[in-house]
Structure 1
């Protein structure tokens, strides 16, 4: 995804009943679903004559902006914790819109066979313990593959990132050392690496740097024609990220009513292990600030479309559709929206 694509802005007008109300539906947050949301919002304009302004600024910024009520919705690849929501001025709701996969992409000239990675090897690379591609732990996973002994350039996010959260969440489940030394978060104290902003930024570092490795959402790896490896799942199988294995991750966990759950290292034997929902976050009670009921209804209509009709755009862009049980929970959450206690 070229950085210029991040400048995409769509402005909205919505009509309700016999009166037309000028509205501007705005959202900000995760770069992880940006290619999908760009397509969704372009198609939504065609069918509903309503546009949406979405700024791809990272999950951390999306969470911050919805807390500050400067946008209609925030977007994040990780659900906000109870602690992070405790100071919110109202009850926040999360709905998943897609499942995506985070892949270890790399730049190794001459290597045409996709490499295999375990969680431990990925953790050790990002801990700075494995410094070259000629390391014996990488070679042991890839017998018969000639790997140039280049130094490893670790690429990682510099901004508050849901993709970082998902990747670190996975590493914390498979590496006790990572869990104790680095942990999980949108922003981390990295032991090593070159920082870049957004999934497109990390993809750019990998693409331009022989010997680089970076974690990016699957669609960014594909759009940038980056090679990415398979990752060993909990069942011991090396799985290449794709729609099916990413969707299978949701079948290996219990989905709570509020849908806030981690999908990494899923118990499903067919699952890709670094998968995640990506969420839209909004207020249950839409009556705040200068918001009108028309604005609230416009947001509800958009969200309903995203988890129903809009799902047709997920798989062509390398995101998994919501499983039926998850979609039904998301619909119930959207239907719980109100305006000053009045059901929308």
Structure 2
């Protein structure tokens, strides 16, 4: 009987081991990667018992939260400059690649049917083109029946890495947009009919609600909400549709390890199959964090995501970081973080 009891206690101890060391991690920031972080968190909790509480509040909010030391990591699609990382004692690494997609609510138009180039898209978002019946749109779309109607531009109301990626692309392809609007996580949109939405969720909701609207969201939100997207002309002059293959093609030539702090945009990338508004989402962690136990688990979480989360990412049309890049992150970023 004693022998049986000892064995039972031993088995119980083993089965309880993961829960005994379970950690509640906290993160905040970009809405761009939220769908995949939620998926990874579910799988990681099932494997380890550790839970990730991630607040999808926008990139600017994520940077503020990590600087205030209220979370274990911050997330931003607008990479922080290396000099600022050094000044604040932070490290940064890209965690996932995805695409920002112009989405519309125009009657009778199918996904990908309307084709635009960068300068025309920029003119729409700065109010130079204000009606779907504009001849510049018609010339680019022969044979496509596009009903006339005043365009409502839907943008992010919060400081957003998605906006930073989107405006970086528009500024690269339109000198007028670059000079009059610029680029960044938050800009002053000049179109008279501009409506703001909080997060990718808010933009998607407003585009869906407002007839003749156009906005921009991370592709997972467009797919989830079955939204109508626009095809875009890329740097090589080819019209492409957004998906994981065109995002991957855009990111193929990017070497994050060659950039101090790994922070770079990959918009308007060369390649016949490249989606022109592709970007990465980045993670910010202190080199010497206050809660070392939690941050050690955060590192395990992203290592798990890099190794075992690729299929989950692909299922949501994100692009996993290349093995070469994740190897670099393990050797040159994770090793700079004090976890003991």
Taking structure 1 as the reference length, what is the TM-score of the superposition? Answer: 0.88
- Gap regions ≥5 residues in structure 1: 1-16
Please report the RMSD computed on the Cα atoms of aligned residues, expressed in angstroms: 2.1
Aligned residue in 1 for 2:5? none
Does the 8 Å CA contact 2:23/2:51 hold for their aligned counterparts?
no
Does the 8 Å CA contact 1:119/1:174 hold for their aligned counterparts?
yes
- Quote how far apart the aligned CAs of 1:21 are: 5.3
Higher deviation after alignment, 268-277 or 142-151 = 268-277
Change (3 A) 1:301 1:86: closer
C-alpha distance in structure 1 between counterparts of 2:63 and 2:294, whole Å: 20
- CA deviation string 1:122-163 (max 9, x = no partner): 100011100000011111111000100011010000001010
Counting only pairs closer than 5 Å after superposition, residues 48-67 of structure 1 correspond to structure 2 as 48-67=48-67
Aligned residue in 2 for 1:73? 73
Does the 8 Å CA contact 1:300/1:337 hold for their aligned counterparts?
no
SS state at 1:130 partner: coil
Higher deviation after alignment, 214-223 or 328-337 = 328-337
SS state at 1:336 partner: helix
Q: Verify: 1:34 aligned to 2:38, yes or no.
A: no
Aligned residue in 2 for 1:172? 171
Does the 8 Å CA contact 2:25/2:298 hold for their aligned counterparts?
yes
Aligned residue in 2 for 1:110? 108
- Quote how far apart the aligned CAs of 1:327 are: 2.2
Does the 8 Å CA contact 2:286/2:337 hold for their aligned counterparts?
no
Aligned residue in 1 for 2:287? 284
Counting only pairs closer than 5 Å after superposition, residues 109-128 of structure 1 correspond to structure 2 as 109-112=107-110, 114-128=113-127
- Quote how far apart the aligned CAs of 1:242 are: 0.5
Q: Where does structure 1 differ by over 6 angstroms across 4 or more consecutive aligned residues?
A: none
- CA deviation string 1:257-305 (max 9, x = no partner): 442111100123321000001111111223x3xx2x4223222211211
Does the 8 Å CA contact 1:307/1:330 hold for their aligned counterparts?
no
- Quote how far apart the aligned CAs of 1:168 are: 0.3
Q: Verify: 1:266 aligned to 2:269, yes or no.
A: yes
- Quote how far apart the aligned CAs of 1:326 are: 2.1
Aligned residue in 2 for 1:312? 311
Aligned residue in 2 for 1:219? 220
Aligned residue in 1 for 2:241? 240
C-alpha distance in structure 2 between counterparts of 1:46 and 1:334, whole Å: 26
- Quote how far apart the aligned CAs of 1:324 are: 2.7
- CA deviation string 1:20-53 (max 9, x = no partner): 4564310000111111111110111001111110
C-alpha distance in structure 2 between counterparts of 1:324 and 1:239, whole Å: 26
Taking structure 2 as the reference length, what is the TM-score of the superposition? Answer: 0.89
Does the 8 Å CA contact 1:158/1:195 hold for their aligned counterparts?
yes
Q: Specify which of 97, 100, 105 is matched with residue 99 of structure 1.
A: 97
- CA deviation string 1:184-220 (max 9, x = no partner): 1111111121111010111111111110000011111
C-alpha distance in structure 1 between counterparts of 2:53 and 2:305, whole Å: 15
Does the 8 Å CA contact 1:120/1:171 hold for their aligned counterparts?
yes
Aligned residue in 2 for 1:249? 250
- Gap regions ≥5 residues in structure 2: 1-16
